[in-house]
Each structure stands twice: as C-alpha cells, then as structure tokens.
Amino acid sequence: MHRKEVKIINDAGLHARPAAEFCRTASQFNSEILIKKMGGDERHGNAKSVISVVTMRVEKGMNLLITAEGNDEMIAVETLAALVNSGFGE
C-alpha cells in the first residue's frame, strides 16, 4: 500500500471539472485507489468515481489522503498527487 497526503490549492476545490480529471487519471491504473478527506469530516471514497469524489465536498485548503493498493500503487499515488499539486491547471 502506498499513500500520500496532499493539499487542495485550486480556488474552487475539487468541483466537477477537476474531480472528473482526477477520476479519469485514477481510472488509468489497475490499483484500488481511495481518497480520504482529512480533518473533522473524514469522508472517504473511491477515487475512480466522480460521484464519490464530488460528494466529498473538498474545498481549497483541505488535505486529502490518496491511498492505492495494487501492482501500480506507487505511480498511481504519485501521479494523482502531482495532479492535485498542479492545481488542475486552474
């Protein structure tokens, strides 16, 4: 299992467009990938499901734990972390 905590930096948080991009990227990997919203409301969900990601209501400044388990877990987590750290190009 590989995991990494990232901070959401884009102004609108993980709204529909970046959530869809996040899920599209996650779906490229074979590993099971989960995300967990850190802090008081520690919701978690499937990183490959747009509905799951959007309903978590992740806003700017919140931390997100990305966890993957499988044969490509390290590259999956690192790729998703880099996407979040880029602010989704916004």
Q: Which residues are catalytic?
A: 15
8, 80 in Cβ contact below 8 A? no
In angstroms, the Cα distances linking 53 to 23, 34, 35 are 8, 10, 8
